[in-house]
């Protein structure tokens, strides 16, 4: 996507004006916002891991079939998170929350915990969190960021197998969190969709929901996605640059 400078300027101005006029803002982020922190995206590497389609290792069926393989996938991603830090895109969304306070809601599909580390409070992690584990049988759960876990971690209370506390494909999203996300989107008049390929549902459906409720939609991505057709403005470029750029203009 190559636009002339004044085309980019014009898009940035339009996005900034929509945000400036907004009473309530909701944001949906995906793996792209963490790419500049060094966290690999899902469909960047062709959506494969050790030759397995992600949808195969990130499902309850895959876990039942081969828990050691699935734990190897998640332990590798847990280890990788030790080196990563929020990037200017995350920090721009913290600044936006500080500006809007209770008129701001951040909905993320990401499980890397970087929005919480960056400082967002009004955060809905609709796909769970990599740092947290829970028991496959009892109520035990524990957030253990940075800890390396055994190949097949067991529950300290009942001895059964632990699992990562993330939402796998074909699993329901946490209902209370999902309901809050839907509510925030129906109430917003400006919806930012950042760094997501907009193919995973029900998360991707939030863009349509925002449009249906009359919100302006601003997309931040490197390339066109199914959300682009619903966006009033698409800002093509790394969100670590475009989000701070919009925040900068908002302040002037
Ligand atoms: C559900 C947690 C109801 C795990 C994830 C059959 C039966 C049941 C359901 C289905 C089915 N067939 C399909 C479905 C629905 C399914 C689905 O949508 N599948 C897709 C693949 C078609 N959804 C589900 O299963 C959901 N549950 O429907 O339950 C139900 C229940 C029972 C029975 C019936 C129905 C559960 C979905 C949640 C899955 N868990 N993650 C883990 O992380 O390991 S989803 C996973 O994908 C991540 O959360 C990730 O966030 C999400 C979406 O990916 P993206 O974040 O968008 O990342 P991606 O790499 O795709 O894109 C990155 C984007 O960033 C790109 O656009 C790129 O251009 C851009 N980018 C890159 N760098 C930058 C950038 N942009 C800006 N700046 C940059 N620097
Ligand atoms: Zn247990």
**CATH number for the domain including 51?**
3.30.1600.10
Residue 203: name the closest of 130, 129, 126 by CA.
Answer: 126
Is there a contact between 177 and 151 (Cβ–Cβ < 8 Å)? no
Q: Does 65 share its domain with 178?
A: no
How far does the centroid of ligand 1 lie from the alpha carbon of residue 200, in Å? 4
- Give the number of other CB atoms < 10 A from CB of residue 170: 11
Residue 75 has pLDDT above 60, yes or no: yes
Q: Does residue 127 have an active-site annotation? A: yes
Q: Does 216 share its domain with 143?
A: no
What is the arithmetic mean of pLDDT over 217-237?
Answer: 97
Q: Does 186 share its domain with 246?
A: yes
Ligand nearest to the CA of 138: 2
Atom of ligand 1 nearest to the CA of 196: 57
Which positions ≥6 away from 30 have C-beta within 8 Å? 41, 108, 109, 110, 194, 195, 196, 197, 198, 203
Atom of ligand 1 nearest to the CA of 203: 37
Q: Does 95 share its domain with 192?
A: yes
What mean pLDDT, rounded, does the chain reach? 95
Q: Provide the CB-side half-sphere exposure for 194 (13 A, CA).
A: 28
Instruction: Say how many domains are in the chain.
Output: 2
Residue 53 has pLDDT above 80, yes or no: yes
Q: Does 116 share its domain with 155?
A: no
Q: Does 53 share its domain with 121?
A: no
Q: Does 106 share its domain with 186?
A: yes
Q: Does 33 share its domain with 150?
A: no
- Residues paired with residue 218 on neighbouring β-strands, in sequence order: 192, 233
Q: Does 153 share its domain with 178?
A: no
Residue 1 has pLDDT above 70, yes or no: no
Q: What is the residue range of 238's domain?
A: 5-39+85-127+173-251
Catalytic residue, candidates 3, 127, 170, 213: 127
**Predicted confidence (pLDDT) per residue in 140-188, tens digit:** 999 999 999 999 999 999 999 999 999 999 999 999 999 999 999 999 9
């Amino acid at each position: 996507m190559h636009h002339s400078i004044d085309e980019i300027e014009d898009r940035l101005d339009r996005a900034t004006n929509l945000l400036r006029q907004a009473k309530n803002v909701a944001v949906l982020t995906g793996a792209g916002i963490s790419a500049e922190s060094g966290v690999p995206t899902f469909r960047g590497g062709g959506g494969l891991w050790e030759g397995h389609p992600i949808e195969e290792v990130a499902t309850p069926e895959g876990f039942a079939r081969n828990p050691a393989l699935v734990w190897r996938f998640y332990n590798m991603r847990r280890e990788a998170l030790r080196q990563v830090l929020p990037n200017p895109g995350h920090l721009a969304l913290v600044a936006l929350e500080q500006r809007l306070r209770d008129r701001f809601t951040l909905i993320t599909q990401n499980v890397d915990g970087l929005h919480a580390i960056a400082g967002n409070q009004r955060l809905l992690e609709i796909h769970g969190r990599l740092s947290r584990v829970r028991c496959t049988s009892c109520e035990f759960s524990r957030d253990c960021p940075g800890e390396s876990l055994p190949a097949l971690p067991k529950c300290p209370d009942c001895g059964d197998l632990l699992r990562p506390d993330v939402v796998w494909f074909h699993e329901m999203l946490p209902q209370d969190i999902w309901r809050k996300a839907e509510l925030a989107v129906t109430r917003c008049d400006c919806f930012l969709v950042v760094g997501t390929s907009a193919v995973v549902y029900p998360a991707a459906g939030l863009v349509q929901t925002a449009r249906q409720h009359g919100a302006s939609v601003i997309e931040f991505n490197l390339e066109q996605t199914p959300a682009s057709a619903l966006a009033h403005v698409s800002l093509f470029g790394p969100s670590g640059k475009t989000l701070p750029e919009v925040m900068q203009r908002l302040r002037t």
